[in-house]
Chain A
Amino acid sequence: MRPVNDVGVPTAARRRRYGWYPGVIALGLALLAITVLTGWRMTRGVEEFGMPPTSSGVAPSPSEPVPDPTFRIGPGASTETGGPPLVPVQPGGPPAVSTVAPVRLSIPTVRLNAPVKPVGIDPDTRELAVPEARSTVGWYRYGPGMDADSGSLVIAGHVDSLTQGPGPFFRLAEVGAGARISVRATDGSVRGFRVVSREVFRKSKAPYDRLFARDGPFRLTLVTCGGGFDRKTGSYRDNVVVTAVPVG
Chain B
Amino acid sequence: MQPLRLGLVGGIVAATGLGIAAPAVAVESSAARNSSVYVVHGIPGQPVDVYVNGEKTLTDFAPAKVAGPLDLPAGSYDIVLTKPGEDPESAPLLEVDDAEVPGGANLSLVAHLNADGEPTLTPFVNDVSKVAAGQARLIVRHTAAAPAVDVRAGGEPVFRDLTNPNEAKADVPAGTLNVDVVLAGTDDVVLGPTDLTLAEGTVTIVYAIGSAEDDTLAITSQVIRGLDSAPDGVPAGTGGLADPGLPTWWYGLLAGSVLVLLAGIALGVSRRTMSRL
Instruction: Specify which chain A residues have a CB less than 8 angstroms from the CB of B158 in the assembled complex.
Output: none
> Which of B7, B20, B241 makes the CB contact (< 8 A) with A60?
B20
CA–CA, A95 and B263, complex, Å = 79
| B99: interface (CB < 8 Å) | no
| A97: interface (CB < 8 Å) | yes
CA–CA, A169 and B237, complex, Å = 9
CA–CA, A46 and B262, complex, Å = 35
Contact indicator A28/B263 (Cβ below 8 Å): yes
Contact indicator A94/B10 (Cβ below 8 Å): yes
| A248: interface (CB < 8 Å) | no
Contact indicator B134/A161 (Cβ below 8 Å): no
Instruction: Specify which chain B residues have a CB less than 8 angstroms from the CB of A38 in the assembled complex.
Output: 250, 253
Contact indicator B237/A90 (Cβ below 8 Å): no
CA–CA, A148 and B204, complex, Å = 22
Contact indicator A91/B10 (Cβ below 8 Å): yes
Contact indicator A74/B73 (Cβ below 8 Å): yes
Instruction: Specify which chain A residues have a CB less than 8 angstroms from the CB of B267 in the assembled complex.
Output: 19-21, 24
CA–CA, A140 and B233, complex, Å = 12
Q: Known contacts being A25-B264, A142-B134, A166-B241, is A223 close to B257, with CB within 8 Å?
A: no
Total interface residues on B, CB under 8 Å, equals 80
Nearest CB in chain A to that of B67: its residue: A89
CA–CA, A81 and B118, complex, Å = 36
Contact indicator A73/B200 (Cβ below 8 Å): no
The interface bits of chain A over 1-38 (1 if a CB of B lies within 8 angstroms of the residue's CB, else 0) are 00000000000000000111111111111011011001
Nearest CB in chain A to that of B60: its residue: A84
> Which of A39, A120, A142, A228 makes the CB contact (< 8 A) with B250?
A39
Contact indicator A87/B68 (Cβ below 8 Å): yes
The interface bits of chain B over 164-183 (1 if a CB of A lies within 8 angstroms of the residue's CB, else 0) are 00000000011000000000
Chain B binder among A106-114, A178-186, A206-214: A206-214
- Nearest-neighbour CB distance to chain A for B218, whole angstroms, equals 11
> Which of A173, A209, A235 makes the CB contact (< 8 A) with B238?
A235
CA–CA, A23 and B228, complex, Å = 68
Instruction: Specify which chain B residues have a CB less than 8 angstroms from the CB of A85 in the assembled complex.
Output: 55-57
The interface bits of chain A over 133-161 (1 if a CB of B lies within 8 angstroms of the residue's CB, else 0) are 00000001010000000000000111111
| A59: interface (CB < 8 Å) | yes
Instruction: Specify which chain B residues have a CB less than 8 angstroms from the CB of A165 in the assembled complex.
Output: 239, 241
CA–CA, A218 and B18, complex, Å = 22
Instruction: Specify which chain A residues have a CB less than 8 angstroms from the CB of B261 in the assembled complex.
Output: 24-25, 28-29, 31-32
Nearest CB in chain B to that of A32: its residue: B257
Nearest CB in chain A to that of B72: its residue: A73
The interface bits of chain A over 71-89 (1 if a CB of B lies within 8 angstroms of the residue's CB, else 0) are 1111001110000110111
Contact indicator B236/A159 (Cβ below 8 Å): yes
> Which of B7, B21, B67, B257 makes the CB contact (< 8 A) with A35?
B257
Contact indicator B22/A60 (Cβ below 8 Å): yes
> Which of B11, B53, B237, B268 makes the CB contact (< 8 A) with A160?
B237
CA–CA, A91 and B8, complex, Å = 8
CA–CA, A74 and B70, complex, Å = 12
Q: Known contacts being A71-B70, A91-B65, A128-B231, is A234 close to B20, with CB within 8 Å?
A: no
- Nearest-neighbour CB distance to chain A for B102, whole angstroms, equals 16
CA–CA, A140 and B173, complex, Å = 15
Nearest CB in chain B to that of A212: its residue: B230
Contact indicator B260/A229 (Cβ below 8 Å): no
Contact indicator A161/B67 (Cβ below 8 Å): no
CA–CA, A163 and B242, complex, Å = 14
CA–CA, A35 and B255, complex, Å = 10
- Nearest-neighbour CB distance to chain B for A212, whole angstroms, equals 4
Contact indicator B240/A229 (Cβ below 8 Å): yes
Nearest CB in chain B to that of A159: its residue: B237
Chain A residues proximal to chain B, CB less than 8 Å: 18-29, 31-32, 34-35, 38-39, 42-46, 55-56, 59-62, 66, 68, 70-74, 77-79, 84-85, 87-97, 120-121, 123, 125-128, 130, 140, 142, 156-167, 169-170, 173, 203, 206, 208-209, 211-214, 223-229, 231, 234-236, 239
